[in-house]
Amino acid sequence: MDHFADERDYKLLENDKYTFFVLGRIMGGKCDLLLTDHEKLIICYSCNPYPVWVWTPDGAPEEEKEKAYELVRENGLLTNSHTFNMKYDLADYFIRRSAEGAAPMSVRTNMFAYDCPDLKEPHIRADGEIHRCAPENMDELVEFIDFFHKETGIDQDSLEAYRRKAEEAVRSGSYFIWRNKEGKSVSVCSIRPKDDLASIGLVYTRGEYRRRHYAENLVYQVSKMAKDAGYMPMLYTDADYAASNACYGKIGYVLRGKLCTIG
Q: What is the pLDDT of residue 164?
A: 92
Whether the CB-CB separation of 251 and 216 falls below 8 Å is answered with yes
Answer yes or no: do 97 and 141 share one domain.
no
Domain termination residue (choose one: 40, 71, 105): 105
Answer yes or no: do 135 and 200 share one domain.
yes
The number of domains in the chain is 2
In a domain, 197, yes or no: yes
Sign of the dihedral defined by the CA atoms of residues 101, 107, 109, 110, in that order: positive
Between the alpha carbon of residue 62 and those of residues 52, 69, 89, 97, 181, the distances in Å are 20, 10, 10, 11, 57
**Res. 153: pLDDT tops 80:** no
Q: What is the pLDDT of residue 135?
A: 93
Q: What is the pLDDT of residue 224?
A: 98
Answer yes or no: do 56 and 153 share one domain.
no
Query: Can you tell me the distance from the alpha carbon of 189 to that of 202, in angstroms, rounded to the nearest whole number?
Result: 5
Query: Can you tell me the distance from the alpha carbon of 24 to that of 46, in angstroms, rounded to the nearest whole number?
Result: 12
What's the pTM? 0.88
Answer yes or no: do 203 and 249 share one domain.
yes
In a domain, 119, yes or no: no
Average pLDDT over residues 198-221: 95
* Residues contacting residue 11 through CB under 8 Å, at least 6 positions apart: none
In a domain, 110, yes or no: no
Q: Give the pLDDT band of residue 244 (cuts 50, 70, 90).
A: confident
In a domain, 101, yes or no: yes
What does the pLDDT look like over 91-127, one tens digit per residue? 999 999 999 876 899 999 999 999 999 999 999 999 9
Q: What is the pLDDT of residue 151?
A: 86
Average pLDDT over residues 200-215: 94
Between the alpha carbon of residue 50 and those of residues 45, 79, 81, 82, the distances in Å are 7, 14, 10, 8
Answer yes or no: do 232 and 170 share one domain.
yes
Average pLDDT over residues 50-74: 96
What does the pLDDT look like over 18-31, one tens digit per residue? 999 999 999 989 99
**Res. 143: pLDDT tops 90:** yes
**Where do the H-state alpha helices sit in 60-213?**
62-74, 88-98, 138-152, 159-172
What range does the domain containing 201 cover? 129-257
In a domain, 118, yes or no: no
Domain termination residue (choose one: 105, 140, 167): 105
Mean residue pLDDT of the chain comes to 94
**Res. 248: pLDDT tops 80:** yes
Counting residues of the chain whose pLDDT is more than 90, the rounded percentage is: 85
Q: Give the pLDDT band of residue 156 (cuts 50, 70, 90).
A: confident
Helices 242-250/214-228 angle, 10° precision: 50
